[in-house]
Amino acid sequence: MGKLILVFRSIGNLLMMLFTVSVFRFTKGNYGLKYAQQTFFIFGGKPGTLASKILRKKRNFKLNHVEHNLSSEIDYKTIDSKLKQQGFAVEKKFLSQESVKSIKDFSLKNLGAYRETDKGEGALANILFDPSDPKAIRYDYSPSTVLACTDVQKVLSDKRVLAIAQNYLGGEPILDFVAMWWHTKSLKPDSNAAQLFHFDMDRLRWIKFFFYVTDVGIDNGPHVYVPSSHHDNALPFSLRKRGYVRHSDKDVARHFPESNWKFFTGEAGTMIAEDTRGLHKGAHVLRGNRLLFQLQFTSALYGKSEEPDNMALNSSVLTKELRHAIGEFPHIYQKVKILN
Ligand SMILES: [Fe+2]
């Protein structure tokens, strides 16, 4: 009898997968996003993982390929196995101190916007960030502004980043978005500023790269991750059934002991590669201001609708490196729009 139940359950799972994947194949835009999210809430991730495997594009370049001059200082195999097992991998000193300085200088000379806090205060657009006088908890730059930064473009065209993304996604990655923001000192975490635990869910499968541009100690709002919470079915149904919401530390600790949470402290230049389908947050800042920038690569563009010109870049600020990379890997940079 037990065996029969097992067989029925397996057949049921298979049918559910086939149905889900066929719907994934034909739904588009925000309708697809809703479908991907609902499927995740109900089934816990397997259908999304399977659909990602079907929709991704085959590998374009091989690791350590001489032609691509991949740095031997990076242990790609270890990074990949850490990502797969724990959901994250860290590389200290990934950015040079010159790059860090240049990105920070860029951030202080370009306009961004303060994000409205949970209390509904602080929204301010087209304003410079003054580290000595921040106006709200989170200050963001538009993707096009971030793209215009020469040293961000260097990272975007860095084969080490592309190789890590490709290995993890098992296919040629697509640059999905770029972001950069400041977190400033606050008395308590702000949900709008992504300072409460949550999982991301814009695509089927993706990988994010966080780069610290300021030194981040335990008081400076370290990024926090719940190891191994990115696996299929790792999140309990009691959390998933709440939908796409923020979760309190207490609720997360009920399922994942706090002693296992990973707090990423590190000097400016540290890179954290992470599958943000796992639970994560930016701890609120107790001292100073924290600047980081972030890249997301996805296996397929199924899910969130594209905002036109979201990643537009004026050709006058396009670096030689990125121009070359776009020519070499058009699939990866298909969302970057070069304006003349
Ligand atoms: Fe997030």
What is the rounded distance in angstroms from the CA atom of residue 203 to the CA atom of residue 40? 11
Tell me how far the alpha carbon of residue 205 lies from the centroid of ligand 1, in angstroms.
Answer: 14
The beta strands (E) that lie in the chain are given as 88-91, 112-114, 124-127, 138-141, 174-184, 206-212, 223-225, 262-264, 271-274, 280-282, 289-298, 312-314, 337-339
Tell me, in angstroms, the distance from the centre of ligand 1 to residue 2's CA.
41
- 195 C-alpha vs ligand 1 centroid, how far in Å? 9
229 CA → ligand 1 middle, Å: 13
CA angle (54, 57, 61) in 5-degree steps: 140
Taking alpha carbons only, the member of 225, 228, 219 closest to residue 263 is 225
Q: What is the DSSP letter of 247?
A: B
Expressed in angstroms and rounded, the spacing between residue 335 Cα and the centre of ligand 1 is 21
Question: CB-based contacts of 144: which residues, under 8 Å, 6+ apart?
Answer: 309, 310, 311, 312, 313
* Distance between first and last Cα of the chain: 69
Ligand 1 centroid to residue 9 C-alpha, Å: 34
Q: Ligand 1 center to residue 191 CA distance, Å? A: 11
* Cα 178 to averaged position of ligand 1 atoms, centre (Å): 13
Cα of 7 vs centre of ligand 1, distance in Å, is 38
Ligand 1 center from residue 278 Cα (angstroms): 9
The alpha carbon of 77 and the centre of ligand 1 are apart by a number of angstroms equal to: 25
CA 88–ligand 1 middle distance (angstroms): 14
The whole-number pLDDT of residue 19 equals 66
Taking the centre of ligand 1 as the mean of its atom positions, its distance from the CA of residue 199, in whole angstroms, is 6
Q: 209 C-alpha vs ligand 1 centroid, how far in Å? A: 11
- How far is the centre of ligand 1, averaged over its atoms, from the C-alpha of 259 (Å)? 21
120 dihedral zone (left: phi>0; alpha: psi -120 to 50; beta): left
Q: Per the structure block, which two tokens stand in for 99?
A: 């790059």
Q: Is 310 exposed, middle or buried (0-12, 13-18, 19+ CB in 10 A)?
A: middle
Say how many Å lie between the CA of residue 84 and the centre of ligand 1. Answer: 18
Quote the Cα angle for 163-168-172, to 5°: 60
Q: Look at residue 31 in the predicted model and tell me its pLDDT.
A: 74
3-state SS of the chain: helix, strand, coil percent to 5?
Answer: 35, 20, 40
Question: What pLDDT is attached to residue 21?
Answer: 62
Q: Which residue has tokens 């799972």? A: 13
Q: Give the distance (Å) from ligand 1 centre to CA of residue 198.
A: 6
Distance from the alpha carbon of residue 281 to the mean position of ligand 1, in angstroms? 6
Distance 53 CA to ligand 1 centre (A): 23
Distance in Å, CA 15 to ligand 1 centroid:
32
Task: List, run by run, the mean pLDDT of 10-residue segments along the chain (340 residues).
Answer: 73 68 63 84 89 84 53 82 98 95 98 95 95 96 97 94 94 96 95 94 95 98 98 95 93 97 98 98 97 97 82 95 94 94
Tell me the CA–centroid distance for residue 44 and ligand 1, in Å: 18
Q: Please give the distance, rounded to the nearest whole angstrom, from the Cα atom of residue 332 to the centre of ligand 1.
A: 22
181 closest CA partner among 170, 172, 190:
190
137 C-alpha to ligand 1 centroid (Å): 16
Between 2.102.10.10, 1.20.1070.10, 3.40.50.970, 2.60.120.620, what CATH number should domain 56-339 receive? 2.60.120.620
Cβ neighbors of 303 (< 8 A, separation 6 or more) are 32, 33, 36, 202, 203, 204
